[in-house]
Amino acid sequence: MAGTETYSCPECTTLMSLVSRERRLIYVCPQCKVELACNDIRVDEVFAFLSIDPKDGNEGITGYRTPDGWLPLLCADKARVDSMRGLAQEMSTATNARMKLVRFSLREDLEEIVP
C-alpha cells in the first residue's frame, strides 16, 4: 500500500517524508526538496546481507525467521538497510559467521506479469 514504506532520496539519500498534496500522496525530501509521486517510485538498486560460509567462502542471502515466516535481509533503500543492520549483526554474532552488505545496481526488466 502506498504510504507505508520509507524511501531514501535519490539525490542525497535523506529519508523522504510522505505528504498529502492536492489529494495526492507524494514523497518529499526535507533536505533537497526532491518530490516523487507514489507511483513514480521504482526499485533501481537492491541491497542484500550475505552470509559467508566459513568452509568454502560461498555466499548466500541471509534470512531471519519471524512468527509470520522468513524475512530475507533484502532492502531497496538505505533507510531499510539501516533498520536491518542490527539484525544482521545479531545473526553474525549468533552464528559466528561473517556477513557482507552488498548492493546490486544494474536493473534489467525481464518480464511483466499481468493478471
Q: Does position 38 have pLDDT exceeding 50, yes or no?
A: yes
Q: pLDDT per residue over 58-106, tens digit each?
A: 999 999 888 888 889 999 888 789 889 999 999 999 999 999 999 999 8
Report the first-to-last Cα separation within the chain, whole angstroms. 18
User: What pLDDT does residue 56 have?
Assistant: 94
Domain ranges of the chain: 1-42, 46-104
Position 31, amino acid: Q
Cell (9 digits) for 18: 510522505
SS3 content of the chain, % helix, strand, coil (to 5): 20, 35, 45
Closest CA relative to residue 101, chosen from 54, 46, 57, 55: 46
CA 51 – CA 45 distance, rounded (Å): 19
Q: How high is the mean pLDDT of the chain?
A: 85
Strand partners, 21: 24
Q: Give me the pLDDT at residue 2, please.
A: 41
Q: Is the pTM of this model over 0.85?
A: no
The C-alpha cell at 12 is: 542525497
